[in-house]
Amino acid sequence: KQEVTQIPAALSVPEGENLVLNCSFTDSAIYNLQWFRQDPGKGLTSLLLIQSSQREQTSGRLNASLDKSSGRSTLYIAASQPGDSATYLCAVESSGYALNFGKGTSLLVTP
């Protein structure tokens, strides 16, 4: 069974810092990996999707990388802002339909 782990569980940084969130998975046979953002009490918003044949994806200040062979992905956030404060979840699709999620990293960006 695919296990997805996210480290750290929580992170607090001052505004303006660049930061990296980590995600690891146990089975490298994946179709894709997605990063989501979740604000308190809300649903999930998809940020980036990396297909298994890709190495990275970028959207604005966000850059996600994928190393399938080592079972790792990172989400890089440049020049963090207080509005980036949220929980970030990593999920992998390895069974064909459903995603397996990590437990998330709770990010707080302080002014």
Q: Under the rule (CB under 8 A), what is the footprint of another protein?
A: 31-32, 34, 36, 41-46, 49, 51-52, 89, 91, 93, 96-104
Q: How far lies 17's CA from each of 20, 59, 66, 96, 109, in Å? A: 10, 18, 22, 37, 9
Nearer to another protein by Cβ, of 29 and 78: the residue is: 29
Nearer to another protein by Cβ, of 80 and 87: the residue is: 87
Nearer to another protein by Cβ, of 77 and 99: the residue is: 99
Q: Give min distance, CB of 9 to another protein, in A.
A: 10
- DSSP SS3 for 94: coil
Q: How far apart are CA 66 and CA 111, in angstroms?
A: 31
